[in-house]
Structure 1
Amino acid sequence: MFRYFVLWLVIGLAGCVSPQYQTAYRFTPPPAGAGKVCLTRCDASLAQCKNQCAAKTSQCLAKARSQAQSELPVLLGAWEREILVWEKAMDRYETELRFWEMEMRQRRLMYDLQRDVRPCRPGERHCTRYPHRPHFGYPRAWDRPESPGPAPKRPTLASETARIQAETCPNDCGCDANYRQCYASCGGNVQAYQVCIKNCGG
């Protein structure tokens, strides 16, 4: 019964996920004439900005890869030390977990045996008394050994290049924002609106 309750709870929560929206723009051109010529200059500036942005991104990517190559040996050395510490912690955890499981089996066995023993009658002195357990099921377990967690991830040239690129390389050169500003200055109308991109529901 409890499993079905948890299942329905998970399904219900999944249905409560908020939708995600992204801003889009609707462009209405200006009347014919000088406005059209002005938009041509905006288009040329946008193309030039994107070409320059692509060149900067390419240069930044090459620099990030070179930096990752120089830093990788140091990072690998640190990772090797971390993995040794983690392996020792994992060995200790697995040993403690085995003892914990053995102790739990013994406690469950003792609980089952105690549950079948005749309880003491009121006023009876020479009998075996066991603690009353108001909760249902087996006695509560003491703290389970804590896992050291997943192993440290080994750094690679690709992962370090991607990390440095994300930290140092621009992903937006402002070309689109400048174009919208130029479009509006030419007499065009730029209207922002929201578009659902995830968890949109029907």
Structure 2
Amino acid sequence: MAKPVFRFIITGMFFVMFFSGCSSPKYKIEKIYHPPPDKACVDRCQKEFQKCQDTCQRNYNECLLKAPERAQKIYDQLEREYTQKLQEYYKQYRIYQNQLREREKTIERLKRDLKFYERLCAQYKDKEACYRKKNIKKALERLKYNTPVAPQKPEEISFKEILDKERALCRCDCGCKEIFDACYQACGGKVEIKRICVEDCDKD
């Protein structure tokens, strides 16, 4: 992530400020500053602005520096939870496999019984055999749609993803420009703002 950039172009009674955040900007904010009579007051605003920027950058760098340590603590905790979930998954998966085997055995048994009762029903018109044949067909049809559901395997923990998230929490925009504008206006100056799209603009 890039350091916030502020460029001041001073022309006569106004200057323009461009800024970008931690990534490539999508908007350019053009500010026209009408200075107050008290230049010393504006100088104090600029000093406070620079102090804010320096503190912000220092905190941002420190945040990035400590990101791996924070990520490691989170990773260790999630890894312990993952190990427990994985053990439970294997337990449930063994149950699932047993259910599949039992289902296959039941289907094979019912198919054998079906052939037997179909033959009796066809040859001897035995009512009991025909009744059982009908019930077995229904049972096979139910088993066709009633299959065991495999357990969901837990996702592996990615240290890189955790580290990226921790780094993304580090802020390099501390509102220093807003503080400067407030100070500038408190000095009696006036700030006009224009917002210009420079990237990913709406086509409408």
Scaled by the length of structure 2, what TM-score is found? 0.47
If asked which structure has higher relative contact order (CA below 8 Å, sep 6+), I would say: 1
- Greater share of residues in strand: 2
TM-score of the aligned structures, taking structure 1 as reference length? 0.48
Q: Rg: which structure is higher?
A: 2
